[in-house]
Amino acid sequence: MNAERLKRFYQNLMQLISQIARNADISVNLIFEGSDWLDRSLNSYSSVSDMERLIHYVMDYFDHLSESKQDAQRQVDAIIQHIRCNIENDIRRTDIAEAVHLTPNYVSRLFKNVMNVSLKSFITAEKMNTAKELLRSTKLPIGMVAAKVGYSNFSHFTQAYKLFFGITPIEERQRP
What's the whole-number mean pLDDT along residues 116-130?
97
Residue-level pLDDT at 28? 77
pLDDT for the residue numbered 37: 64
- Is the pLDDT at 120 greater than 70? The verdict is yes
Residue 90 one-letter amino acid: D
- Note the pLDDT tens digit of each residue in 15-30: 998 898 888 777 777 7
Residue 81 has pLDDT above 90, yes or no: yes
If DSSP codes are grouped into helix, strand and coil, which group holds residue 38?
helix
Q: Is the pLDDT of residue 55 over 80?
A: yes
How much is the mean pLDDT over the chain?
A: 88
Contact 130, 68 (CB under 8 A): no
Position 5 scores a pLDDT of 87
**Helices and strands (H, E) in the chain, number of each type:** 10, 0
Give the span between the Cα atoms of 29 and 24, in whole angstroms: 13
What kind and span of H or E run contains 115? Answer: helix 104-115
CB 132 within 8 A of CB 126: no
Q: Taking each helix axis as running N to C, give the angle between helix 119-137 and helix 93-100, from 0 to 180 degrees, rounded to the nearest 10.
A: 100
Confidence check: pLDDT of 53 > 90: no
Q: pLDDT, tens digit, for every residue of 140-165? A: 999 999 999 999 999 999 999 999 99
In this structure, the number of other CB atoms found within 10 A of the CB of residue 97 comes to 18
CB 132 within 8 A of CB 172: yes
Task: Of 67, 64, 87, give the one whose Cα is nearest residue 133.
Answer: 87
The structural domains of the chain, ordered by start, are 1-70 (no CATH), 121-174 (1.10.10.60)
Tell me: pLDDT of 134 over 80.
Answer: yes
**First vs last C-alpha separation in the chain:** 73
What is the per-residue pLDDT for 48?
83
The pLDDT assigned to 21 comes to 84
Q: Which one-letter DSSP state was computed for residue 102? A: S
Cα separation values, 118 from 21, 34, 78, 112, 154, Å:
25, 30, 16, 5, 25
Mean predicted confidence (pLDDT) in 100-125:
93
